[in-house]
Amino acid sequence: MTLLSVNINKVATLRNSRGGNVPDLIEVAEDLQNFGAQGITIHPRPDERHIRYEDARNLPKVIKTEFNIEGNPTTKFLNLVCEVKPTQVTLVPDAEDAITSSAGWNIKKHAKFLKGVIDKLKIEGIRTSIFVDPDISIIEAAFETGTDRIELYTENYAKVYDFDRENGITPYILAAEKATELGIGVNAGHDLNLKNLAYFAQNIPDLLEVSIGHALISESLYLGFKNVIPKYLECLVN
């Protein structure tokens, strides 16, 4: 079964919109795990407009599954994750003012930099993943960095799901097959939801983990976390 890691950035956005501590991010993370989530993901931005660095420091107190921290490996970010030591760090090439992730790494261009970052994280005992587009040459380049996993950026699949899902998923299947051939674990995320997740999970070989935030939080406004988490887990049973 593919593991479900829930990105709680949007919960922090709601909290920050009014100040104070409602909703309580720590309580939400604990509840999500009790409802069945198998991991918690956060993506702190440099301006801390949703997840704050202090959140990253406090969350390990309640995380009993896996803790995944995503972000651009700036010096400040690397200092944070080396302090917190989450289960996994996912390296994402975001600009500082990015609203959300919009592309994977050009690993061929940044291979030396990424290898240095990954070497440092491995010394700290942290599993590494690189956010990538479904491109065979990029997957091959990822192997040279020594990363443990890749996270397939799934926005393009989500965009065509309603009218061309078979062709839309093909690059992801090929990328996952290449990663598995090279001994790299496969994660996925971005714009996956209750509508398109099952088809993706059923067709991607050896999919280890999906990280889902915006859609899951939005769907929970109608159905509640307690009801939505089992629905996602059902999508991930192959």
Of 43, 50, 66, 219, the active-site residue reads 43
State yes or no: is 70 an active-site residue: yes
State yes or no: is 43 an active-site residue: yes
> How far is the C-alpha of 117 from the C-alpha of 8, rounded, in Å?
25
> How far is the C-alpha of 85 from the C-alpha of 114, rounded, in Å?
18
State yes or no: is 110 an active-site residue: no
Contact status, residue 154 vs residue 172, Cβ threshold 8 Å: yes
DSSP of the chain: --EEEEE-HHHHHHHHHHSTTSS-HHHHHHHHHHTT--EEEE---TT-SSS-HHHHHHGGGT--S-EEEEE---HHHHHHHHHH--SEEEE----TT-SS------HHHHHHHHHHHHHHHHHTT-EEEEEE-S-HHHHHHHHHHT-SEEEEE-HHHHHHHHHHHHHHHHHHHHHHHHHHHHT-EEEEESS--TTTHHHHHHHSTTEEEEEE-HHHHHHHHHH-HHHHHHHHHHHT--
Of 50, 66, 190, 209, the active-site residue reads 190
Of 50, 66, 70, 219, the active-site residue reads 70
Please identify every residue annotated as catalytic: 43, 70, 190
